[in-house]
Amino acid sequence: MVIVKYTPEYSPVEAFITRFFDNESDLLVFEQETQIPIPTLTVGDIIEIFEQEYIVKERKFAFNEDAFLTIYGLETK
């Protein structure tokens, strides 16, 4: 049996960045960077940031070199 060494085409993800934006004003509400992925929210979920409740209105994903980004559009509840 021949075992071939696998060489990945892309480098591994080193950072997971989560950004929360106000959907109406496009202002950044909160940003978090971690070394492990955090659970994702879905549209319609309610989240509290700095004692203010928000409803998730949209969710987007992106890659940037060695980082994976999750971007949420929020609306004040």
- With vertex at residue 27, the alpha carbon angle to CA 25 and CA 28, rounded to the nearest 5 degrees, is 150
Look at residue 47 in the predicted model and tell me its pLDDT. 95
The residue whose two tokens read 């203010």 is 52
Average pLDDT, the chain: 92
Percent of the chain predicted with pLDDT > 90: 69
Compute CA distances 66 → 9, 39, 59, whole Å. Answer: 13, 19, 20
